[in-house]
Amino acid sequence: MTERTEGTESMGETRSIGTRRLRPPRDVEALLAFVAGVAFWGWLVTRWLYDWTLGRWGIGPGSGESFLSPAPLERAAETFANTRAVVGPVGVSTEWLAGALDGAALAIEIAPALATGAWYTIVLTAVSVVLGFCIAVPLSVLRVYGGPFRWVAIAYTELIRGTPLLAQLFVLYYGLPLSIWLNDVDVVGRGFVPAYAFWIAIVGFTINGSAYQAEYIRGALESVDEGQLTAARAIGLSKIEGIRHVVLPQTLRYAIPAWTNELVYLIKYSSLAGFITVPELYYRASRIASTNLEYTTIFGLLALVYLGLVLTATNLMDRLEHRVAVPGLGRAEGRQQGTAEEAAGERQ
C-alpha cells in the first residue's frame, strides 16, 4: 500500500514537471503579450494619427484608405484556389491557403474602417465610465447611509438595471427631444465633433453604467468595517467627512475588480450604439459585411479588435489595482497567500 502511494506521488510529480516543461516560460509569455500589444496599438495609433493629419492634407493614400494594396494577395489567392499541391504521390488542395490570403486581403481593405470604429468605441466607453462614476459614487453613498432617502437610490438603480439597455437608447433617441436639441447645436456633427447620435449614446451608456457601478460600489462600501466610520467620528470628523476621507478610499480600491467587469461589459455592449446609427466598431463591420457578404471573415476580424481592446482594459485595471493597493489590505496577492498558507497548515 505504501509502495503504491509512493508510486502515485512519484507519477504526480513527474506529470507536474512535464506540464511545467510544456508550458512556455513566463518571460516568453510576457514577451509575446508585449509584442502583440505593441502591434495592435501601433496599428491603431498610427492609423488614427494619419487619418487626422496627413490623410486630411492629401499626403499618402488619403484618409480612410489602406496603406497597402490588397491586389497582390487577391491574385495569389486566385492562383492557389485553382491548384493542388503535390505531397508525395498525393495531390492536396490549397483552397485553405487561398482562403487565408483572401482573409488577409480583406483585412487590409477594411482595416481603416475598423480603426475608425475602434476610436468611437473607446471614446464612448471611456467617457461613459467616467461620467457614470460621478453619478454612481453619491448614489451608492445615499443608498448605504441615506436613511429614508436611500429609496431614491434604490428606485433609480432598479429602474435602470431592470430595463434593457437597447430600450433605454431607443427612448433617448426616438422618445425624447434630445435629437432635436443636439441637432440645433452648430458644432455637433462638424469636423472632429461627432453627430448627435453619438452624444445620445454617451447619455444612455452613462445612465446605464452608473446604475451598475453604484451597485459595485455599494457592495464594496458595505464590506468596510463599521468601526472605520466610528473611529473617524471619534477623532472629530463629521459623518460626511468620515465617509469621504476614511470609508470611500478603501471602498474604491475594493471595487476595482468589479469596475474591470463593468469596463469589459461596456466595451462589448457599446455595439448596441450602432442601432441608433453611431458609427462605432460593430456598426462599421456590419455595414461592410452587408455589402460584400464576407460575414465570417469580417466578424472574425471584428472579434480580434474587440479582444485586443478587452485585454488591454483588463491589463490596465490590473495594474491600477496593484498600484493603489494598501499592503495587507484587500490585495489579491494577500488573499491568495493566505489561502496558500492555510492550505499548507491543513496539510501539516
Phi, then psi, of 282 in degrees rounded to 5: -65, -40
Digitized pLDDT (tens) for each residue of the chain, 348 residues in all:
445 555 555 555 666 565 555 565 667 888 888 899 999 999 999 999 999 888 888 888 888 888 888 888 888 888 877 776 666 666 666 777 888 888 888 899 899 999 999 999 999 999 999 999 999 999 999 998 888 888 999 999 999 999 999 999 999 998 888 888 887 888 877 777 888 899 999 999 999 999 999 999 988 888 888 888 888 888 888 888 888 888 888 888 888 888 888 889 889 888 898 888 888 899 999 999 988 888 888 999 999 999 999 999 999 998 888 888 776 655 555 444 444 444 444 444
The 3-class SS string of 58-81 reads CCCCCCCCCCCCCHHHHHHHHHHH
Task: Write down the pLDDT at residue 348.
Answer: 45
Task: Write down the pLDDT at residue 91.
Answer: 65
Q: Give the ranges where 224-294 is alpha helix by DSSP (H).
A: 226-234, 239-242, 248-254, 256-269, 281-292
**Separation between Cα atoms, residue 56 and residue 104, nearest integer Å:** 26
> Which residues on adjacent β-strands are paired with residue 90?
87
Task: Write down the pLDDT at residue 234.
Answer: 84
DSSP 8-state code for residue 193: S
Task: Write down the pLDDT at residue 338.
Answer: 44
Q: What cell does 27 get?
A: 518571460
Task: Write down the pLDDT at residue 8.
Answer: 53
- Residue with grid cell 503579450, as numbered in its chain: 33
Phi, then psi, of 327 in degrees rounded to 5: -55, 125
Q: Largest Cα–Cα distance in the chain?
A: 90
Asked whether 277 and 90 are in contact (CB, 8 A), the reply is no
Residue type, 168: Q
Phi, then psi, of 178 in degrees rounded to 5: -60, -40
